[in-house]
Structure 1
């Protein structure tokens, strides 16, 4: 277990939600975006897929840096009740199909994350949250798509945005649905990297 402190961590993510959550937590970090292909392998389940993506993002960043800084990477997907992986929609028609499949049903949001240092994985987890949508009309779905909000979000919706009114029930971490199970991540940063909230200078 690595206990060496780093002044900052590298967040291997372009997600504005993850950035905002870490900033709000007082964690010092800067962003380096990992360019990897995100595509499920044949017969790959959601848990394995999201964890593999997180690992590959961290490894890609580790190859770019020689520093001792910790690398935190994450990936989030939506998995339907028939085990279909939903990522970000490719176009309005794709978004509509996703939202129709979620309407009136319960799905899982899976976030995988990894913490690396010196090209070695220190900790990796997959956190799941169960989300139930109320029944949506096509008119509601079409109006939501026109806002443009679905297009950078797994499953074509954001729990913190206009789609919050679609959600009937949630079981598990709320921030996980936003893209990062923040409470668990902060515990792991404390226990495995020696980095605590509001204890160091922010980036």
Structure 2
């Protein structure tokens, strides 16, 4: 019987770690990959998310080989049409994102990449469509004051109070949080992880 594979999670996100635990998987190590996440000229949201997830996994390829472990990496992109929204690092950016998202449909792409110790790369992507209710300036200000948006793509975290602002959603809730469980389970099972 082959040994149970081990996993390096290429993310410092506690949300990704919590979601991975729902599949019964505990990473051997957490090792965030430091890559340039700047979109390339004319790069569209879906390929941008896929490229970043792949780059994060490949950045840890030496560690994967040395530890005979798989590397799981992911990246989440929020988009309005062809426009990729930034990760909000300040209140002004968060406010601008929320004003843009108010009352309109947007998409969240979360790409995942699983790199095996032998260099085999498996990839999946989830796409979720969401629509926020029309937001008042007071609602935007209250959400920005909460601080939940810090470091979040598109300036919001659906696992927090922003979920109450979502009028409609089609797709993966866990994907919007940052790790689509259906796609992640499929990749891990294909790689030999015993997930039942």
- Aligned 8 A contact 2:123 2:187 in 1: no
Q: CA deviation at 1:165?
A: 1.0
Aligned position for 1:185: 184
Structure-2 change in CA distance of 1:35 and 1:119 (3 Å):
farther
Q: TM-score, normalised on structure 1?
A: 0.90
Aligned position for 1:10: 8
Counterparts of 1:164 and 1:31, CA distance in 2: 28
- Aligned 8 A contact 2:85 2:97 in 1: yes
Aligned position for 1:69: 69
Q: CA deviation at 1:5?
A: 4.9
RMSD of the TM alignment (CA)? Answer: 1.5
Q: CA deviation at 1:119?
A: 5.6
Moved over 6 A (4+): none
Give the SS at the match of 2:19: helix
Question: Structure 2: which 5+ residue stretches go unaligned?
Answer: none
Q: CA deviation at 1:87?
A: 3.0
Q: Which structure exhibits the higher relative contact order, with contacts defined as CA atoms closer than 8 Å and separated by 6 or more residues?
A: 1
Aligned position for 2:50: 51
Q: CA deviation at 1:6?
A: 4.1
Structure-2 change in CA distance of 1:96 and 1:196 (3 Å):
same
Give the SS at the match of 1:156: coil
The size of the alignment, in residue pairs, is 193
Q: CA deviation at 1:25?
A: 2.0
Q: TM-score, normalised on structure 2?
A: 0.93
Alignment of 1:33-44 (within 5 A): 33-44=32-43
Counterparts of 1:5 and 1:194, CA distance in 2: 9
Q: CA deviation at 1:127?
A: 1.2
